[in-house]
Chains A and B, each alone.
Chain A
Amino acid sequence: MSHCSLLCQFFISEISAGIRLQCTVCHGTARMGNKQTIFTSQQLDAYQDCTYFTRKEILRLFHRYRDLAPQLVPLDYTNEPDVRLPYELIGSMPELKDNPFRQRIAEVFSEDGQGNMTLDDFLDMFSVMSEMAPRDLKAYYAFKIYDFNNDDFICKSDLEKTLNKLTRNELTEDEVRMVCEKVIDEADLDNDGRLSLEDFQHMILRAPDFLSTFHIRI
């Protein structure tokens, strides 16, 4: 469906699952994800209730997940197989490959904390990073991503690591130190020298750009 993918996208609704669509102009066909064999309808309901995706998007994401390792991921998920893709595969996705925070993102959303993700973790990651997720939820996960040592506070070393990743180590020592001091000065509300989740969320409330930057399109 090369030329008319636009029109077909326009009119596709999420009820038409398991049906073959044929474009009347170019006679190209597309098959909507044949959900009867991948997920049961209860599973799809559950995923729909737990993420910000529709059925069509969940199936599309499943196919993206499967494309990373077709030999590891079965086509039949009705029995809840315990399949975990290693971090190297997740980090090789084009959307994450060059992102300096990809390791932290994978670690935060994975169950084992090492970046090896199941399908649930995969869906969770892209659901939180999608544009429908609310600000508080995104702020929570952003906090966890920037908290490199997982002590539930963003301390100075976390800030230094964040800055070095943002700027690819281009800033000098002094500049990094000054920026960290300024950040803690401005954002630390309870004066303990590091940012807690409340400080971070309070700061995010005042940030106009956060929702549009903390967003991955998939």
Chain B
Amino acid sequence: MQRLGPLSREAWATLTLQLLRPPCAGASLLSPRVLGGLVQPPAREFAEARLKIQLESDKEKSNFVIKTPKGTRDLNPQQMAIREKILNAVIRCFKCHGAKGLDTPVFELKEVLTEKYGENSRLIYDLKDQGGELLALRYDLTVPFARYLAMNKIKKMKRYHIGKVWRRENPSINQGRYREFCQCDFDIAGQFDPMIPDAECLKIIYEILNTLQLGDFLIKVNDRRILDGMFAVCGVPENKFRFVCSSVDKLGKMSWKDVREEMVGKMGLASEVADCIGDYIQQHGGGSLVEQLLQDPKLSQNKLALEGLRDLKLLFEYLTLFGITEKIIFDLSLARGLDYYTGVIYEAVLLQAPTRQGEEPLGVGSVAAGGRYDDLVGMFDPKGRKVPCVGLSIGVERIFSIVEQRMEATEKIQMTETQVLVAAAQKNFLKERMKLIAELWDAGIKAEMLYKKDPSFLSQLHYCEETGIPLVAIIGERELKDGVIKLRSVASREEVDIKRENIVTEIQRRTCES
């Protein structure tokens, strides 16, 4: 049977029929009978058709690029192994704090996501209107959570959610910024005594970043009410609050001079107003800064700022009890992008972006962030019933990149968990290998064998070395006769005969010990 190459069935059908002029002897034989890509065409027309189709298909193929969409990527086994380790550590911490897992669909009704993200809404991936509901891919895990709470009329919940989200941003591979990326969220919903859950969130960020050993880090803390109070006392017109906020947020990446220029030059803020803001936002410190600002003549006159400062004071007390204050810093320039925060906000940054020899630093960026958002659930409830929430999100993609970069190029992780290769040194031992491997699988042992009837012994050993399998179970004529299996350690090359009936326990014993 001739193969005509990877042309789609429909294309083959069309081209064949075009090439043949009716009436033609045996015309009924010419409609292609396609068997999953294999085609059986009649003889004479075949040569003509083949040439024409190859030309067509070459043209078609040169237009078709195989790639993943912009800003997305596959994850190979090595990357998956790293991810599994990191996510397991994160989940362990979440579970340790009593959170339950939750999952939501990958897309939501478009209306659910509308008006939740401010200017970032243009970054949402919409689904095509195919006659049904209007849908869009989720932008984060927080809005779906709020929708879940409102939908199920839940007043209190502590949940974690690990899943991908999608944003049509400009991807940047060396910054670890993709259009499809994983988020690990932990949130506490419910009316509780102030700042206890908020403190727990910070404790969780601390625990996770410690466990992952990414180097030194700092968690910046601020409060939306302090920011808004500060803008008010500095004389920022209310309608410019959000814009000024996003300028202030850029202080991490731009100098104060440039930020000030943006505020005065682009937003038309009065010079004195900008300077007043500047005085505040360049301050950062610990609990003592909170005390200081509580005494500040201007701020202490502002009700909103006072609320925020008092809550921060309480927060610092709890953080002290939790033993984590040396990593916490009250930073007035922290003004995170999303619109729905209503109280405390925080962002964790690594202090030293680790680099490989001669490479650019991974870039300043946060590895975790979050805050309090008391009004979001109420936006979904028909009666506007509020459910206060506070939460955090671990920026695992950046953490994955850091860990990946850190691994030496030569460092080999075993990407499978296989414990033993079932092998034979002689020919005609396929049956024995199959019987033995079924025995091992049935006993829960992780085993592989080569998919060859008579593989060479060397190729079997080679496979073990390549993939990191530590043991080989060898069967042959002598072993059959003696009722044993020869067990070989790949690392030490030592071989020992084990009685057939003991092979399972012996392998289990050895893999436990390693």
Q: Note whether A and B form a binding pair.
A: no
